[in-house]
Structure 1
């Protein structure tokens, strides 16, 4: 039951706060895939793959839902940063993930 409530809360934050913010930053958002989510003391940190080509990391305050943008990098830069020399396979997986229908906005 606790996991279901956490998923409901995540989906609510994503639809009401994160997706509108992403549309404001990127203009057109056809797909948004959450690659990473970390719960911190006063904020949640998210990393999203946007439109299959850019990766954004942002922090959402748990106090007032304000967003602080950390960085926007290309998918290639992200894959290299995460996997080093073996990034090609990871990059392919990320690109396939971005095409899934359940990540379309």
Structure 2
């Protein structure tokens, strides 16, 4: 399985409540861990590793950010859940070893939030949204 989480450095991001339906970030160690992990995932996607950017570019006109929220290795493919542009949750199935897209689906951010019942998933999503907003600021 290809690993997103090798290398990379965390950039500074302010902790803010960016919406009434979003969890408030406090700067905890858990949040910092997610900032590190998500930042590295975006850097890896931008570098073209694993065929994910190519798959995203075939479905989105512009990609300002993409953060891996989950990766499930299967027998002959990897399934990635990714927050794209701070708005869309996509699930991409990438075949191994060809690293090409096998399937692509989207879920609304609202539905994903409802499905993210654990506190850890909610924190991870809040951090990903925060990072996405920091990348789209002028």
Answer whether TM exceeds 0.5 for this pair: yes
Q: Work out the number of aligned pairs and report it.
A: 93
The CA RMSD over aligned residues, in Å, is 3.1
Task: Call closer, same or farther: CA 1:19–1:70 in 2, change over 3 Å.
Answer: closer
Deviation at 1:45, TM superposition (A): 0.8
* 2:69 equivalent to 1:41: no
Which runs of structure 2 are paired with 1:11-90 in the superposition (5 Å)? 11=44, 15-16=48-49, 17-83=51-117
Q: Structure 1-normalised TM-score?
A: 0.68
Report SS of the residue matched to 2:58. helix
CA distance in 2: counterparts of 1:56 and 1:62, whole angstroms: 19
CA distance in 2: counterparts of 1:62 and 1:96, whole angstroms: 32
**Structure whose residues are more often helix by fraction:** 1
Q: Structure 2-normalised TM-score?
A: 0.54
Deviation track 1:5-44 (CA, whole Å, cap 9, x = no partner) reads x838x837x7151112101201111100011012111111
Deviation track 1:48-68 (CA, whole Å, cap 9, x = no partner) reads 100001000011111322212
Structure 1 gaps, min length 5: none
